[in-house]
Amino acid sequence: MTWSQEVVPAEHQDIHTLLRDTERLPRHIAMIMDGNGRWAQERGRVRIDGHREGMESVRSAVKTCSQLGVRYLTLYAFSIENWKRPVPEVRFLMSLLESYLAREVDELHANGVRIRTIGKTNSLPKSVQRMLQTAMDRTKENTGLTLTLALSYGARWDLARAVQVLAMDVRRGKVSPEDLTEETISSYLQTSYMPDPDLIIRTSGEMRLSNFLLWEAAYAEIYVTEQLWPDFRSRDLYRALSEFVMRERRFGKTSAQVAESSGESPRTTLERILHALR
Ligand code: FPP
């Protein structure tokens, strides 16, 4: 049975249908999955137990986004700075990634998910690189959710890499400095195949972007929850999305201008959501 044929749990049905049918859902959600270590420590367990439990939240986020019809989900799974962690923890995270790919790709593929990566992936262990490549090749024609794993990723690293390639293209005469626009820069980033994120969710209460999608996040709504990543499940995603659809995104315009050009007002959406939750 595919995810779209599954019955959403009764307690989530109203909000799920409402969110799925609203035209205000984000096209692209990016997530900073933070708090695995604290989740484990709070329970007197070792940090890797938090990562293991965090993987269940990854499963839940992917499935819920896919069922809602979200087009792009980007997960910050391993930052370029994470290489500084103790070797056993890094090893564990790599093995978790391998087991995620080994266990999940069939199901992801069956549900039309396209897998991609961003980041300095050539520094990952060769076995992980091979599994990622196989997963990407296998799912590349899929037209459902695009799931991007940010691995060994850093936004400044990607910007510096893009500027280097761009500078070489300028030297070769492929790009003229006068024609260099924001769109040109975006097209040189590894994220060029996806729209900018509309919503960035960060768990565990920290108010920072931690070198994640710095250029792309220019107009993103940011949702920070105190919850730790292993506790963040579909109920919490619905809550984040409910808040998102009620926010007014102005992109520099006034409220009146926004109301003129958009369909339903955030207020009407809010009323419908409150009605569904009653
Ligand atoms: C941050 O928590 C989390 C990570 C560095 C790793 C995220 C990995 C997963 C959720 C599991 C594997 C993911 C995939 C896609 C298979 P932290 O360790 O920094 O927590 P802390 O701030 O409480 O110490």
Which residue ranges make up each domain of the chain? 3-154+192-277
User: What is the spatial order of strands in the sheet that 114-118 belongs to?
Assistant: 114-118, 146-153, 72-79, 28-32, 199-202, 221-224
Alpha-carbon span 191 to 158, nearest angstrom: 9
Instruction: Give me ligand 1 centre to Cα 275, in Å.
Output: 36
Instruction: Report which DSSP code applies to 26.
Output: -
If we measure between CA atoms, which residue out of 224, 227, 237 comes closest to residue 36?
227
Give me the mean pLDDT over the 122-142 stretch: 98
- Answer whether 227 contacts ligand 1 (Cβ < 6 A): no
- Answer whether 273 contacts ligand 1 (Cβ < 6 A): no
pLDDT at residue 239 is higher than 70: yes
Give me the mean pLDDT over the 269-277 stretch: 67
pLDDT band at 264 (very low <50, low <70, confident <90, very high): low
- Answer whether 35 contacts ligand 1 (Cβ < 6 A): yes
List, for residues 32-76, the tens digit of each pLDDT value.
999 999 999 999 999 999 999 999 999 999 999 999 999 999 999
- Answer whether 128 contacts ligand 1 (Cβ < 6 A): no
- Looking at residue 162, its amino acid is A
Alpha-carbon span 30 to 148, nearest angstrom: 9
Quickly name the fold that domain 3-154+192-277 has.
Undecaprenyl pyrophosphate synthetase (3.40.1180)
Model confidence, pTM: 0.93
Measured CA distances, 272 to 15, 117, 152 (Å): 10, 37, 41
| Contacts of residue 193, Cβ cutoff 8 Å, sequence gap at least 6 | 116, 146
pLDDT at 260: 74
In the residue annotation, 34 being an active-site residue is answered as: yes
Q: Which two tokens stand for residue 118?
A: 């961003």
At 168, which helix (H) or strand (E)?
helix 155-171
Question: Comparing 266 with 96, which gets the higher pLDDT?
Answer: 96
Q: In this structure, which residue's CA is closest to atom 6 in ligand 1? A: 77
In the residue annotation, 122 being an active-site residue is answered as: no
Q: What does the chain come to in residues? A: 278
pLDDT at residue 242 is higher than 70: yes
pLDDT band at 258 (very low <50, low <70, confident <90, very high): confident
SS3 223: strand
Instruction: Report which DSSP code applies to 278.
Output: -
Q: How many CA atoms lie within 13 A of 10 on its CB side?
A: 0
> Which entry of 36, 49, 82, 211 is annotated as an active-site residue?
82
Alpha-carbon span 234 to 256, nearest angstrom: 34
Give percent of the chain with pLDDT exceeding 70.
94
